[in-house]
Each structure stands twice: as structure tokens, then as C-alpha cells.
Structure 1
Amino acid sequence: MASIRTLGLATAVAAVLASPLALAQDQRDQDVARTGDTAAGKRFSVVGGVALLQPEADPIPGSRIDVDGGPAPTLSATWHATDNIGVELWGAADKFNHRVRGDQGKIGTIEQQPVALSGQYHFGQADTTFRPFVGLGYYESNISNEDLNPGGDHVGLTTPKGAIGTVGLDFNINPTWFARADARYMRARADAELAGETIERDIKLDPWTVGVGVGARF
């Protein structure tokens, strides 16, 4: 009896969630029929948004150092070779600011500004209400304004670079406008230098981002 009630509740929830999605798809189909405008065949898109970047919690194993995350605005531009395959240039429009902490509290701060080039695959048809996508590419992050040794010699980090993986979901509002949510993982290593001499190699940054934005197709 309990399983029947559970099945009935699940069915009701599914119906509630499906109804607005069906209405949105129906409205978009009506707009396409009335205006002839469709997302299919549009070869460029741009997205503006904001993302939270969180570096690896333990960048130097055994050191008990933690790096806080931070938000920044982001921009991306994609050339769509087909309705399903695209090449995206993505990056931060401003710097992510991170506080570095140890057992005794704040050690200092660093800033970084990543940029990435990725190939993407978008699932489904161009005018489908929800379109998931995945991406894989290469990224670099400009590290600047390191303040990690107040009062002493400058401690700097080399440029982290490596692979970036992306998963995301677009919600088509109409043939031109869409909303986006995505998550990105970047595999990165950097060396720490004191007065120009390497003092720590292969610091594990490995940041990930969670972002939202609004985009347009042309």
C-alpha cells in the first residue's frame, strides 16, 4: 500500500513539473510558427553571467593551508559549427579574489583571471526547452597581486594551465534568448617562488566554478 502511495505522489510531482515545461515548449512552438524565427541554424551565441570559483581545499598536502572561493562576472562567445557542435571562448570579465588561510588565520590574498577555449556538444534539437551540453578544452589563469608574505620577500605563483571540463544546461526562452547554468572543473598546477627562486612545486589548485547567465543567439 505504501508503494502505491509513493508511486502516486511521484506521478503527481512529475505532472506538476511537466506542465509548465510543456506550456513553455508550446508557446515557443507557436512563436516559431507565427514569426518563422528559430534557433536552428544560428551560428553565434554570447553569454554574460556570474560564477563562483573555488580552488582545491588542500593545495599543498600536509601544509594545512586553505584557499577561499570568490565570485566574478564571466563572459563567453561560442561559434556553432552545427546545431550540436560548438567552440567556446570563456573567461572571467574581472578577477576572482581569494583569501589564503592557515591554522593561525589569514595568511594573505591572491587574485586570478582564467580564460579557456573548449569544444562543446549540445544535446537535442536547437529549439528544445532544456538543452544539456558538455565541453572539454584548455585553460590558463593569470595569477596577480599575490600578497602571501607581508613584510618579507615577494611570494609569487606561476601561471596555472591545463585541461578544463564543462557540464551545463540551457533553458530556451525564445529562439534568440536563453538562460544558462553550468559547472566547470579545471586541472591546474603552479609553482610558488620566493624572490625568483622556486620554493614549492606543483601546488594543486584544481579550481571548479558554478555559474549562471543569460545568453543570446545570432
Structure 2
Amino acid sequence: MKKLIFSTILACLFVFNAQAQDDNTMSNDDFSKWQIRFRVLSVIPSPSDDIVGADVDISTSFAPEFDFTYFFNKNIAAELILGTTKHEVELEDGADLGHVWLLPPTLNLQYHFYTGDFKPYVGAGINYTIFYGVDAGDLDDIDYDSTVGFSLQAGLDYNLNEKWFLNLDVKKLFLETDVTPKGATESSKVGIDPLIIGFGVGMKF
């Protein structure tokens, strides 16, 4: 299902780009340098691990998010994404590992297309994920290492007027962390790799 959603958006971007070759009349100076968006996110992890005989399960989470976009020209922009999510963690058919909060500020470089009131875009970048607010569940304590990951992105803005627009956005983050229970001599690698689907409203200025 996740692959289908991401593939559908990418296919739409190619269609919009083909149409934009005929419709794009915007000059290089006719664009807003700044945008801000408010989105509601669904964060869907795809967990993996190197723990022998056990599988880590990480819950889906819903959260608000703010992002800021700066346009270097009408097509190329940089977007900073700010949000935080809480996830329940457990071993399937095993221990309850409580919950942990993730703060993954992400910076993406984007390319925007233009066709009428639609503005599809693609992007790629980097994130630094901080783990905090840890509840160890059945364990005495557990430590998650902060980590650097990579991001892919595809989305679509739809202009309501010259200032306001709607947004649909899909990101895939590639990240893993070293997890160390209290008293353990070695850590375990846990992949999170969330798919992030967001919908919201934005403003140009």
C-alpha cells in the first residue's frame, strides 16, 4: 500500500511536468520566496532489527507539523520540516518496550513544476533524528542513539488564491538507531524507515 501511494504521486508528477511544458508562463522573477505550511501527518514506520528470535514493532503515529520553504528561484527551493511524534515500541509476542518520542528535523532540496493552479514537486535531503521522552516499559531503562538519515519526497500544492494553498506531501525517511537496554553489553540496530503522509494548508509571503 505504501509503495502504491508513493508510486502514484510520482506518476502524477511526470504527468504534470509534461503539461507544464506548454502551460508554464511564469517569469523567473514572478514567485514568492517564502512559504509556510501547517500539515497533519501520519507517520508509518517500517521496522526492522538485528535481534535474533524477535521482531520489533513500532506503532503508527499522527501529529501536527510545520515547515518552512525558501525559493532560490521559481523551481528550486529548500524546505525545513519541524515536528515530533510519539511511538509505542514492543517485541512481537514479547516484551513491552514502552514508548519513545522522535524529533526528526529534515532539510530537503526540492524541484517545483508549474501547471495552472497545481504545483507538484520532488525533493531529497537529510534528517537528524533525536530520541527523547523514553518510557522503557517492561525494562528498567533503554537508550536510543540519535541518528542521521536520508529523505525522499514527492508532493503537490494547489493554489486557492495568490496567497493560500492546499498541500499533499509524501516522504520516505531512511533511518536506523542503536538501541541499548540497561545492563546490556551490546546494542541492537533497529530500522525505523517511516513513510510520512501529510495534508495541510500553506501561505506564501
Q: Shorter-chain TM-score: what band? A: 0.7 to 0.9
1:54-92 deviation per Cα after TM superposition (whole angstroms, max 9, x unaligned): 222334465222111101110111111111110111120
| Corresponding residue to 2:63 among 69, 72, 77 | 72
8 Å CA contact retained: 1:59, 1:66: no
Report sequence identity in percent.
26
Q: Which amino acid aligns with 1:83?
A: K
| Corresponding residue to 1:145 among 133, 139, 145 | 133
Q: For 1:104 and 1:207, locate their aligned partners in 2 and report how far apart those are by CA, in whole Å.
A: 22
8 Å CA contact retained: 2:155, 2:170: yes
What corresponds to 2:189 in structure 1?
202
1:151 shift after superposition:
5.4
8 Å CA contact retained: 2:108, 2:124: yes
Q: For 2:139 and 2:152, locate their aligned partners in 1 and report how far apart those are by CA, in whole Å.
A: 39
Q: What SS does the corresponding residue of 2:200 show, helix, strand or coil?
A: strand
Q: For 2:197 and 2:66, locate their aligned partners in 1 and report how far apart those are by CA, in whole Å.
A: 14
What corresponds to 1:16 in structure 2?
none
Q: For 1:143 and 1:184, locate their aligned partners in 2 and report how far apart those are by CA, in whole Å.
A: 19
For residues 21-100 of structure 1, the aligned pairs below 5 Å read 40-60=30-50, 62-92=53-83, 95-100=84-89
Structure 2 residue 205 is matched with structure 1 residue 214: no
1:50 shift after superposition:
1.1
Higher mean Cα deviation, 163-172 or 59-68? 59-68
Q: For 1:105 and 1:193, locate their aligned partners in 2 and report how far apart those are by CA, in whole Å.
A: 14
Q: For 1:53 and 1:98, locate their aligned partners in 2 and report how far apart those are by CA, in whole Å.
A: 9
8 Å CA contact retained: 2:171, 2:197: yes
From the superposition, tell whether residues 208 and 198 of structure 1 become closer, same or farther in structure 2 (CA, over 3 Å): farther
1:109 shift after superposition:
1.1
Could you tell me the TM-score, scaled by structure 2's length?
A: 0.78
Q: For 1:157 and 1:46, locate their aligned partners in 2 and report how far apart those are by CA, in whole Å.
A: 31
From the superposition, tell whether residues 198 and 71 of structure 1 become closer, same or farther in structure 2 (CA, over 3 Å): farther
Q: Which amino acid aligns with 1:217?
A: K
8 Å CA contact retained: 1:76, 1:90: yes
Which has more helix, going by share of residues? 1
Q: What SS does the corresponding residue of 1:42 show, helix, strand or coil?
A: coil
Q: For 1:46 and 1:139, locate their aligned partners in 2 and report how far apart those are by CA, in whole Å.
A: 19
Higher CA-based Rg? 1
| Corresponding residue to 2:109 among 112, 119, 122 | 119
For residues 153-168 of structure 1, the aligned pairs below 5 Å read 154-168=141-155
8 Å CA contact retained: 1:49, 1:213: yes
Q: Which amino acid aligns with 2:126?
A: Y
Q: For 1:214 and 1:120, locate their aligned partners in 2 and report how far apart those are by CA, in whole Å.
A: 18
